[in-house]
Structure 1
Amino acid sequence: MADVKRIHDEVKELFGLVPTWVKEMPESAVTGFWTMMRDFQLAETRIPNKYKELIGLAVAGATRCRYCALFHTEAARMFGATDDELAEASMMGAATMAGSTFLNAQQTDYDTFSRELHEMLEYVRAHKPAATASTTQQQPPMQH
């Protein structure tokens, strides 16, 4: 119980209140959840916070979690994401889910998929034009 009180105090200091859902979390889960949230999700890590929140938004869309979608949208905005970036992250989640749905429903052979992907990447790398300001925007996404 002492850990829970300490965590609630940390949450309140950081956010100004302890959200109801944190108060309702089982005691056995609070420490692990808060440690991950504090030390990974909210901390400065190798991935900038704006990008972590955009990733979170894409995942929230894929998992259809409206709570997560709201949280990650607002957190991404707080870290400087634009409406266009939010829309792109959401579309990346949708595109990934569409591809995943098709590949899994078709039961595409994973080894074949992997081999062909690596062949495609090798081809793109071998045929990549010199990066210039005018061609960077024109290149297919895999060439960046």
Structure 2
Amino acid sequence: MAIKDTYAEIEKTLGLVPEWLKQMPEGAAEGFWVTARDFWLAETEIPNKYKELIGLAVSGATRCKYCCLFHTEAARLFGATEAEIAEASMMSGVTMMGSTFINAQQVDYDKFAAETQDIINYVRSHRQVAAEQAGTEAHHH
């Protein structure tokens, strides 16, 4: 696709071609747009609201004010509430906090992986017990 065709498609989709995108080399701009069009902006397995909340969390972790602004507004556009936006931002912070500590401590990865699986198995088994108890109680009422 010629760059003018790419720009025309972007303008039809977004209402304008952002200046920062015009600054990209042609091959990169075309590739970026194809990925944006066919994955990021498209209806995929992950609803757009959640993709934007993920984008916001990543933006917070990478400290990109441009992406934070864009993904916050796009999340709102796709129906995210202020509470959901705050939770996505907090997930970014809590993940970075844990990641920074674990990496700085040079925690053994195999031990971490084994403990993670133990945690998942424990929580899964307790959820099943709780669901079974709730089902039993519902039959007695």
TM-score by length of 2: 0.90
Deviation at 1:120, TM superposition (A): 1.2
Determine what percentage of the aligned residue pairs are the same residue: 62
Matches within 5 A, 1:126-137: 126-128=125-127, 129-130=130-131
Matches within 5 A, 1:1-144: 3-128=2-127, 129-130=130-131
Runs of 4+ in 1 over 4 A off after TM superposition: none
**Structure 2 residue ranges without an equivalent (≥5):** 135-141
Deviation at 1:123, TM superposition (A): 1.1
Deviation at 1:15, TM superposition (A): 1.4
Matched to 1:90, the amino acid is: S
Name the larger-Rg structure: 2
Deviation at 1:28, TM superposition (A): 2.0
CA distance in 1, matches of 2:17, 2:58: 25
- Structure 1, residues 34-93: CA drift from partner, whole Å, max 9, x if none? 011010000000000000000000000000000000010000000000000000000000
Matched to 2:93, the amino acid is: A
TM-score by length of 1: 0.88
CA distance in 2, matches of 1:123, 1:15: 47
CA distance in 2, matches of 1:47, 1:102: 30
Number of residues paired by the alignment? 131
Give the match's secondary structure for 2:2.
helix
CA distance in 2, matches of 1:40, 1:83: 25
CA distance in 1, matches of 2:35, 2:73: 19
Q: CA RMSD in A?
A: 1.2
Matched to 1:115, the amino acid is: A
More helix by percentage: 2
- Structure 1, residues 72-121: CA drift from partner, whole Å, max 9, x if none? 00000000000000000000000100010000000000000000110111
- Structure 1, residues 4-51: CA drift from partner, whole Å, max 9, x if none? 111100111111111111111111201110011010000000000000
Matched to 2:35, the amino acid is: M
Matched to 1:3, the amino acid is: A
CA distance in 2, matches of 1:47, 1:127: 28
Matched to 1:96, the amino acid is: T
Matched to 1:74, the amino acid is: E
CA distance in 2, matches of 1:11, 1:28: 15
